[in-house]
Structure 1
């Protein structure tokens, strides 16, 4: 299918590349509060939040969309290829906390919905602003950031229920919108590559600087307050398809990479789009993908200010 206008993207798609963790227990939110970059203890049932999970060196091991439908239940959606390691590592630190962590992917289905038909079908069940959550049947609808003028949501339903009666949305179209939204998702190829600010996590509401400690917190805080941040994420169009984890080179220095592709997607007619973490000093240089002299990359407008916060 060839598209020339992203605002025509419409329908629903099972998010098979995503996974879902569940934390249950009287101390589930308290435990996660001490592990993630986000305030989980004060997360209410009408909200969802982005959060990062960092190594002690402040490097992202995973990124999550987090919601808390009940006081003792927290869900964390992430890339499926980082879920097993994140679950294993988090479980190591539960100790005596009243919290049980499980892979909930067999019980719940994550569906990406976008466009006019989803808006019409959900009606009042579609939250009006990003990161709001509405209970819908036995599940949830979480409004995500719009992308390229297209409203989007994460629809969570029991795996036993049929898919919503919406047009089938190609997964590539959803992934293209995900990249266009400017919100980086940590995937297997980029684990431990980025401090949160390097992929703008705090600019899209994924870091709370007022909460208590968590793994890597000192590194994240130092990057924020000591003016040491020298890298950010930017949208780029490429001549060829890009892949997460690919290195990016600047014309002024072929000896070392100037950045790395965080997420990428391609749609016939809309082209090849990538979220690229870049050294700020290389922003004015011609950029290439994969190697010096490789396919050209061209920066395009981000959906939110970036340089003003650098």
Structure 2
């Protein structure tokens, strides 16, 4: 986290742990705001890989599962970076700011992802670098967030995946139950916007933003789930992160075979469970009558519900077991799992 930005957040009441905003002093209230009001969130817990050079577009097109040719100064997209086995190593959002492409992903997996991408640069005229300390990242969301951003910036992206350059700021609209935006820029410009919007919205910790990803059905890959899910298992074909018409990329044969043979046996669901213990990415879900040696699913991400009545989570489940709806967290004695509705079809 940039020192000036960290000082600004601390002065605003942020409680920080290892560069991550835990809360602004009232986590329960912050969770409740997720469904009812405008919220501002620091996104320093997400990192940025910058990709530059004459062949940056071609390089990314050959590495990612989405059609990166669709990314422009006015359009971002969700994508995935896969191993040769077709399993996701990361699920970044790709956007463009001036002549630079950025991959936005959890900072815990940035270093290994960057290291692996660099292995394939070879003689390509492209450079990759960690730019997490070059730009401040924050999020803004809420029922009135679109109008409030328009008043603050003069305009804002109109549709999901649209991108807008507003002076020094790059604004991305991303999926959400209410209008939701990522904002990237230098410390001074982001600070000025935060101070203006803080009159309308409330600052919240990183968990509240993660909860919005869960409610929106957007998967994030963390160290415990690296190389575990084929993109279709995480519903990427339903949310714009997967193209079956582009050329080759790592794992493409596996992904295409699964698509054309129609043999996807697992997919991502939104679930809830009444428990005070937040499951971790990679934790198991088991079906009635089956032991922990044969899990029916895996937690992708989980957070406490907005009303603190248990947890909300995304989980990749075996479809046949999910249809039986006799699932438990962790083991046969764990909390009962309830399937919830995702905001997209499939």
Place the TM-score, normalised by the shorter chain, in its bin. Answer: over 0.9
Contact 1:22–1:75 (CA under 8 A) maintained in structure 2? yes
Matched, 1:264 2:264: no
- The 5 Å alignment of 1:46-125 reads 46-70=74-98, 72-116=99-143, 118-123=145-150, 124-125=154-155
Of 17-26 and 161-170, the range deviating more from structure 2: 161-170
Q: 1:289 aligns with which of 329, 338, 341?
A: 329
Larger helix percent: 2
Q: Which residue of 1 aligns with 2:64?
A: 36
> SS in structure 2 opposite 1:95?
coil
Contact 2:325–2:339 (CA under 8 A) maintained in structure 1? no
- The 5 Å alignment of 1:225-244 reads 225-240=260-275, 241-244=278-281
Q: Which deviations, in whole Å up to 9, do the C-alpha atoms of 1:144-167 show, x marking residues without a partner?
A: 1122xx211111112454531223
Q: Which residue of 1 aligns with 2:185?
A: 157
Matched, 1:141 2:171: yes
Of 26-35 and 268-277, the range deviating more from structure 2: 268-277
TM-score (norm 1): 0.93
Going from structure 1 to structure 2, the CA distance change for 1:42 and 1:182 (only over 3 Å counts) comes to closer
Q: Which residue of 1 aligns with 2:213?
A: 178
> SS in structure 1 opposite 2:337?
strand
Contact 1:260–1:277 (CA under 8 A) maintained in structure 2? yes
Aligned-partner Cα distance in 1 for 2:60–2:88: 15
> SS in structure 2 opposite 1:288?
strand
Aligned-partner Cα distance in 2 for 1:262–1:224: 21
Superposition CA RMSD, Å: 1.7
Going from structure 1 to structure 2, the CA distance change for 1:41 and 1:119 (only over 3 Å counts) comes to closer
Aligned-partner Cα distance in 1 for 2:270–2:308: 14
Q: 1:253 aligns with which of 277, 290, 303?
A: 290
Q: Which deviations, in whole Å up to 9, do the C-alpha atoms of 1:177-199 show, x marking residues without a partner?
A: 11100011111121011000001
Q: Structure 1, unaligned stretches of length 5 or more? A: none
Going from structure 1 to structure 2, the CA distance change for 1:15 and 1:55 (only over 3 Å counts) comes to same
Aligned-partner Cα distance in 1 for 2:117–2:235: 24
Q: Which residue of 1 aligns with 2:14?
A: none
Contact 1:49–1:131 (CA under 8 A) maintained in structure 2? yes
Number of residue pairs aligned between Structure 1 and Structure 2: 303
1:139 deviation in Å? 2.5
TM-score (norm 2): 0.83
1:224 deviation in Å? 0.7
> SS in structure 1 opposite 2:290?
coil
1:265 deviation in Å? 1.2
Contact 2:144–2:179 (CA under 8 A) maintained in structure 1? no
